Amino acid sequence: MIEFQAVTKRYDDGTVAVDHLDLTIEDGKITVFVGPSGCGKTTSLRMINRMIDATSGAILLDGKDIRAQHPADLRRGIGYVIQNAGLFPHRTVLDNVATVPMLLGARKAAARGRAAELLATVGLPAELGKRYPAQLSGGQQQRVGVARALAADPPVLLMDEPFSAVDPVVRDDLQDELLRLQSELGKTIVFVTHDIDEAIKLGDQVAVLRVGGRLAQYDTPAALLAKPVDDFVASFVGRDRGYRALGFLPARQVPIGPVASVPLGTPADVARGRLDAGWAVVVDTENKPLGWVSEAVLSEVDGEIRPEHLISGGSLYVADAEASGTAGTLRNALDAALSSPAAVGIAVDATGAVVGGVTAETVLKALADARRSGEVPT
Ligand SMILES: Nc1ncnc2c1ncn2[C@@H]1O[C@H](COP(=O)(O)OP(=O)(O)OP(=O)(O)O)[C@@H](O)[C@H]1O
């Protein structure tokens, strides 16, 4: 646990970067500092490993004041990842990561073995280990940065805008990878970003800071979206927050109805007899959805339904949340319905097999019922 107790940082020129920050960061969770440029996110983060010393107040790590520890000792237990990875340009990728175990006393061969394991952990192919950082993409360099930060197996990981320099698609992959890693490693991660969507996706807890280094709100992402404390947080959390909040509500209560389905290879005239409101979802031998056929399409088909006859489906949502652990949300269910060419969202089980369909009306009715019964915040 990391505790900020009335922490203030005033730089020599008088700038107050952080102002009486009180905050408790739980072990094994991702805590995100988010806020506009200059609000003191980086300063707050760097005070944790004493790259910057607080002017007043105290920071406790596992109950002990960090000022009582030598910075080098303190930093052994705290990994640090920055934007653009901060790799050594003249060392290979493998040696960039191996440096850390070697500094901690491992022999070269053992350190390289550990580095190779870590590259695999962050999803990099072994052959990239021989390259130099400049020969990697930005996203790959960030993964190396994460591998290096993990090399000492520190319980705490500080990450300062680690994914800001990569394009949005790669950033999305890196975020997913971080969540996957975290589900295995359970580190205490403090993550700085100016991107509220990134904060909401990654954070177990999110601290919204305002310029002047004051804490505006410290809450779960769902609570930030549902109950911003003031206009600053509401406008920072942004547009569509009511819709985005649906992403935190499980879709369990949405009743799933039957959906017309036909296997690929079904004769068109047979399929025509099975349509529901002019549509049927086409499935493979494992009952997984492949796409849709409509009355209009089938009227042109002579013989069996083949892949080229299919109209692409919309998004799917997992209804079998208990079994898979990947709980489909109301947002997933609504998106499935709205993106479906048949206006019916397909619910699948953990294996991806069709279990039924939902319309936007059923999703919204389930939401209205849950709000009325007080199950979700209004
Ligand atoms: N060494 C310094 N001397 C004086 N002022 C500083 C120094 N470092 C940062 N600041 C100021 O402190 C405030 C907070 O800076 P900090 O870098 O912590 O903000 P940030 O929220 O991380 O910003 P950004 O998102 O732009 O990186 C800013 O006003 C900044 O100009």
ipTM: 0.95
Give the residue whose CA is nearest to atom 24 of ligand 1.
37
Mean pLDDT value across residues 117-137: 89
Contact 101/111 with Cβ under 8 angstroms?
yes
Does ligand 1 have an atom closer than 6 angstroms to the CB of 36? Answer: no
Question: What whole-number distance in Å separates Cα of residue 343 and Cα of residue 276?
Answer: 11
SS3 234: helix
pLDDT at 325 exceeding the cut of 60: no
Continuous segment of H or E residues that includes residue 158: strand 156-160
**Which CATH superfamily includes the segment(s) 252-372?**
CBS-domain (3.10.580.10)
Q: Is residue 362 pLDDT above 90, yes or no?
A: yes
**pLDDT value at position 324?**
45
**Ligand 1 centroid to 280 CA: how many Å?**
57
Mean pLDDT across 356-375 = 87
Region of poorest pLDDT, from 60-64, 67-71, 174-178, 286-290: 174-178
The confidence band for 48, taking pLDDT boundaries of 50, 70 and 90, is: very high
At 268, list the tokens.
């068109």
Residue 298 CA to residue 309 CA, distance in Å, equals 8
42 touches ligand 1 (CB under 6 Å): yes
Q: Which residues contact 237 (CB under 8 A, 6 or more apart)?
A: 196, 200, 208, 224, 225, 228
Alpha-carbon dihedral angle through residues 82, 85, 91, 97, given to the nearest 10 degrees: 70
Task: Give the per-residue pLDDT at 378.
Answer: 53
37 CB under 6 A from ligand 1? Answer: yes
Mean pLDDT computed over 6-34: 95
So what's the pLDDT on residue 321? 52
Query: Residue 185 has what pLDDT?
Result: 85
Single-letter amino acid, residue 18: V
In this structure, what token pair is assigned to residue 169? Answer: 């698609």
pLDDT at res. 180: 84
Q: Given pLDDT bands bounded at 50, 70 and 90, which one contains residue 375?
A: low
- Residue, of 6 and 322, whose pLDDT is higher: 6
Give the residue-averaged pLDDT of 16-33.
96
Residue 283 has pLDDT above 90, yes or no: yes
Measured in residues, the chain has a length of 378
Confidence band (pLDDT; 50, 70, 90) for 247?
Answer: confident
Residue 74 main-chain phi, psi, to 5 deg:
-55, -45
Q: Is the pLDDT of residue 314 over 90?
A: no
Report the amino acid identity of residue 356: G
Q: Is 43 in the pocket of ligand 1 (CB under 6 A)?
A: yes
What per-residue confidence (pLDDT) applies to 273?
Answer: 93
pLDDT digits (tens, 9 = 90+) for 196-232: 989 999 999 999 999 889 999 999 998 998 889 999 9
Domain residue limits, the chain:
2-239, 252-372
The answer to whether the predicted template modeling score (pTM) of the entire model surpasses 0.90 is: no
Residue 17 CA to ligand 1 center (angstroms) comes to 6
Is the Cβ atom of 40 under 6 angstroms away from ligand 1? yes
Average pLDDT value over all residues in the chain: 89
pLDDT value at position 85? 66
39 touches ligand 1 (CB under 6 Å): yes
The Cα–Cα gap between 288 and 273 comes to 21
Question: What is the CATH number assigned to the segment(s) 2-239?
Answer: 3.40.50.300
* pLDDT class of 9 with cuts at 50, 70, 90: very high
